[in-house]
Amino acid sequence: MKIPVSKPLISNKATKYVNEALSEKSLSGLYGKFIPKFEEEFADYCGTKHSITCSSGTAALHLPLAASGLKKGDEVLVSTLTNMATFFAVIYTGAKPVPVDIDTDTLNISFEDLKRKVTKRTKAILLVHLFGHPADLNPILEFARSNNLDVIEDCAEAHGAEYHGKKVGGFGKAGCFSLFANKIITAGEGGVITTNDDDLNLTIRNLKSLAFGDKDKFQHKDIGYNYRFSNIQAAVACEQLENISHLVKKRIEIAEFYNKEFESLSDFISLPIQRPHSKNVYWMYHMVLKPNEKLFNKRNEICKELSKKGIETRQGFVPFNLQRIFIDKKMTKPNDCPNANAISGSSFYIPTGPDISEKELKYVASNFLEIIDKLIN
């Protein structure tokens, strides 16, 4: 048995929609009905005025930052524990990303460390809703307003996640979603930006498509990007969006199953949580080994043993402040974020994709428990 970390769940309707796009010869990001259909319906789902498709989750992060006019010398506060695409997007603008440490329960950005790291050069906060759990937004938004800072939400892993009953993606200046193959919904590749800002919507739409001119197309308005999303990708995305409630529900059910199966391991492993004010959509079932002599530093051994059983795992993200490339470039120091450092090397996730069967779930859980039992007894 081979069980991947995540495999998308795609219905026959996606094939129908793709065939429609092909039959209409509407292939690019400039023509066809599926891009406007998806953008309208995704904005409605997130509760925002606008959504703009683009070529990837990284492009979705870059575009609102670029549209904000960030430049060399500016600083953007970013949660250190994330996919490095979040940091790359800031670096593309010429601004300096400043890593902010994490809370130890949700692993999201620490408000206390954020306040310590604001300087007169800080222009924006780029927070991450990590693994599908919303960051604690209210204190951050209030602080940002009082300090005239933009807030951008990295929602790559959090489609459908909620904070005090409202979906993420509409709290800050922009929300940035990924449609990569392992995300909550997918188009294979792609990204979406949500915003309530009419001017930002227009600017991003222009920038993502080479910043063509209005009257004279080839008199460009700005230095633009080829970040377009194709109509074929949008056809798949439309099918996924129609099923998003089921896809989110399935991930929550998977997490609840694992939580019940692994509750006896609470002395040894930190399982994912859900704060009372939040809805966690559990993009991946992410665990952290506690600093216990029997399990700590055994992550690689656990993952290796699971692999022997055909169960794929992924190691947790390496924080920005521990990335050798950025340390060598004098962009950060290893001791900048001690909370993130404490879990680096001990976090990992196990199969959580919506296409996993009940039989496969039980197989993963039983083998995981067996491996852990051998290590602690």
CB atoms within 10 A of CB 63: 26
Q: What does the block give as tokens for 302?
A: 């656990």
Q: In sequence order, which residues have a C-beta less than 8 Å from that of residue 308 and are 6 or more positions away?
A: none
Domain boundaries, the chain: 12-101+108-242, 244-376
Q: Which CATH architecture describes the domain 244-376?
A: Alpha-Beta Complex (3.90)
Per-residue pLDDT of the chain (377 residues; tens, 9 = 90+): 899 999 999 999 999 999 999 998 888 877 889 999 999 999 999 999 999 999 999 999 999 999 999 999 999 999 999 999 999 999 999 999 999 999 999 999 999 999 999 999 999 999 999 999 999 999 999 999 999 999 999 999 999 999 999 999 999 999 999 999 999 999 999 999 999 999 999 999 999 999 898 888 899 989 999 999 999 999 999 999 999 999 999 999 999 999 999 999 999 999 999 999 999 999 999 999 998 888 988 999 999 999 999 999 999 999 999 999 999 999 999 999 999 999 999 999 999 999 999 999 999 999 999 999 999 98
Beta strands at 278-279 and 162-163: parallel, antiparallel or unpaired: antiparallel
**CA distance linking residue 62 with residue 67, whole number of Å:** 9
Q: Output the CA torsion sign for 286, 292, 296, 301.
A: negative
Is CATH 3.40.1160.10 the classification given to domain 12-101+108-242?
A: no
Q: Evaluate if pTM is beyond 0.85.
A: yes
Q: What are phi and psi of 164, to 5 degrees?
A: 50, 45
Question: Residue 135: which of 83, 90, 179, 171 has the closest Cα?
Answer: 171
Contact by Cβ (8 Å): 157, 183: yes
Would you say how long the chain is, in residues? 377
